[in-house]
Amino acid sequence: MQNPTKALESRIQKKLLAVLPALLLLINGCATHPASLTGSPTASGGITDAEIRDVVARVAKHQIHPLADGDYAAVKSIEEAKAAKPPEGISWNYPWGVTLFGMLRSSDVTGDQAAKEFAIEHNLICARYYAWLAD
**Does the pLDDT value for residue 84 go beyond 80?**
yes
**What ranges do the domains of the chain cover?**
4-134
pLDDT top residue among 77 and 27: 77
Asked whether 69 and 122 are in contact (CB, 8 A), the reply is no
> In angstroms, what CA-CA distances link 41 with 24, 48, 52, 69?
18, 5, 11, 45
CA–CA distance, 99 with 108 (Å, rounded to integer): 15
**Does the pLDDT value for residue 4 go beyond 80?**
no
Asked whether 116 and 104 are in contact (CB, 8 A), the reply is yes
Per cent of the chain over pLDDT 90 is 49
Q: Quick one: pLDDT at residue 37?
A: 47
Sign, CA dihedral 63-101-131-117, equals negative
